[in-house]
Amino acid sequence: MPYVNIKVTDEGVTAEQKRKLIEGATRLLVDVLNKKPETTFVLIDEVSTDNWGIGYRSVKDIRQAES
Amino acid sequence: MPYVNIKVTDEGVTAEQKRKLIEGATRLLVDVLNKKPETTFVLIDEVSTDNWGIGYRSVKDIRQAES
Amino acid sequence: MPYVNIKVTDEGVTAEQKRKLIEGATRLLVDVLNKKPETTFVLIDEVSTDNWGIGYRSVKDIRQAES
Amino acid sequence: MPYVNIKVTDEGVTAEQKRKLIEGATRLLVDVLNKKPETTFVLIDEVSTDNWGIGYRSVKDIRQAES
Amino acid sequence: MPYVNIKVTDEGVTAEQKRKLIEGATRLLVDVLNKKPETTFVLIDEVSTDNWGIGYRSVKDIRQAES
Amino acid sequence: MPYVNIKVTDEGVTAEQKRKLIEGATRLLVDVLNKKPETTFVLIDEVSTDNWGIGYRSVKDIRQAES
């Protein structure tokens, strides 16, 4: 019955990468806590870079300053 | 002052269904815990089917296998 | 596959009330969106009254001012 | 290491307002709890007005009734 | 900058298991999305079994019926 | 109608600091987005240091290594 929520910035996460995140997170809960995969939820949130802040700045502004 | 968050896959939830979820969840908190509706929040998140995993797979892949 | 999270202040929610919240929230998702109860999660968070704020004040301070 | 999540309705929050929310929330955690800004996350969620309910109704319906 | 939240029932998760969940979840984000571990948060919530419902019932009641 | 959730480690946040977090977060939403304080929720979660991971390690282990 675990619930795993993964939040990342929406910087091009591919369908294949999402599959790997879902599979990997489920396997982690099965391996470490012996949980049942059929009742293990993994939810991925992709957050816009101007909606994610770190160190006083948005990721969008940080990326622009880096480019 | 309750806060209710309902996460479902984004598989065509209609405006009318959203109203029923909001009303039903509010009524539940009023009936069971005598909470005030005017300070009861109900937030609905619609999650893309490739961002929701169960049993090692994304709901998108599960639906495609079923179809 | 719905995930419902109910946050309320930790002001004496009984085991019986928790059952009603779990049952009611599950029934709501079954009735409105035809979801499967066996993969419907309902999680209740009880938040301490000095950790919940509204109108600039904590619920704890509001309750003390009311008493 | 704080994590701050701000949920508001998606009623036209500008990029500049998002910057102010990110900066203000980070400064709050630095000033009050002496946290390090470089490991302080601020995430803003903009929720559609028909996905946010208060007092039995969606914000969308409330706004329409007000207009 | 990923944020990973793992919610499980509070059924005796050991400190060592928590370490494995933190390490495993971080490694997953590093391996799949090339994220930086030093700004990858993993938060574990242990939820009381009478606060977690599935299939209309609380996990506490389900466990008691099983025992 | 904003909802603000602040997660920090449970390292001795005082009642007075909680008041400042609640007041400061509310004021931020009032000042930046002109929101109504009476329907602005601020919830503070204090997370145990062995339940919060960063850079592959729990905060508890990091603190012990630092001490």
Residues A23-43 have pLDDT tens digits of 999 999 999 999 999 999 999
Distance (Å, whole) CA A60 – CA A66:
10
With contact defined as beta carbons under 8 Å apart, do E56 and C36 qualify?
no
Residue A61 in contact with partner chain D when CB distance is under 8 A: yes
Say what the ipTM of the complex is: 0.97
Token pair, residue C43, equals: 């999680």
Coarse DSSP helix, strand, coil percentages of chain F, rounded to the nearest 5 percent: 45, 30, 25
Contact residues for B49 (Cβ-Cβ < 8 A; gap 6+): B9, B10, B11, B58, B59, B60, B63
pLDDT at C46: 98
The answer to whether residues F9 and F59 touch, using CB atoms and an 8 Å cutoff, is yes
pLDDT for A1 equals: 85
State the pLDDT at residue E1.
Answer: 85
Amino acid letter, residue A62: I
**E9 — contact with chain F (CB < 8 Å)?**
no
pLDDT digits (tens, 9 = 90+) for F4-63: 999 999 999 999 999 999 999 999 999 999 999 999 999 999 999 999 999 999 999 999
Structure tokens at B47: 């999650």
Is D26 exposed, middle or buried, given 0-12, 13-18 or 19+ CB atoms closer than 10 A? buried
CA contacts within 13 A on the Cβ side of A58 = 21
Domain that holds residue A61: 3-66
Distance CA C46, CA C11 (A): 8
Which candidate from B23, B37, B44 shows the least CB-CB separation from D51?
A: B44
Mean predicted confidence (pLDDT) in C29-58: 98
- The count of structural domains within chain E is 1
Residue B1 has pLDDT above 90, yes or no: no
- pLDDT tens digits for D34-45? 999 999 999 999
* C3 interface with E at CB cutoff 8 Å: no
Are E and B touching by the rule of 3+ CB pairs within 8 Å? no
Contacts of F29 in chain C (CB under 8 A): none
* Model confidence pLDDT, tens digit, residues E24-65: 999 999 999 999 999 999 999 999 999 999 999 999 999 999
Q: Do C3 and A1 touch (CB under 8 A)?
A: no
Q: Are C59 and C52 in contact (CB under 8 A)?
A: yes
Distances in whole angstroms, Cα of residue B26 to Cα of each of B19, B33, B35, C23, E52: 11, 10, 9, 14, 19
> CATH code at B45?
3.30.429.10
Averaged pLDDT score across all residues of chain A: 97
Look at residue C1 in the predicted model and tell me its pLDDT.
85
The CA R_g of chain C, rounded to the nearest whole Å, is 15
Rounded Cα distance between A27 and A37, Å, is: 8
**F2 part of the active site:** yes
Measured between CA atoms, the residue of chain D closest to residue F4 is D6
Q: How far is CA F53 from the centre of its chain?
A: 16
- Distance between CA atoms of B58 and A20, rounded to whole angstroms? 10
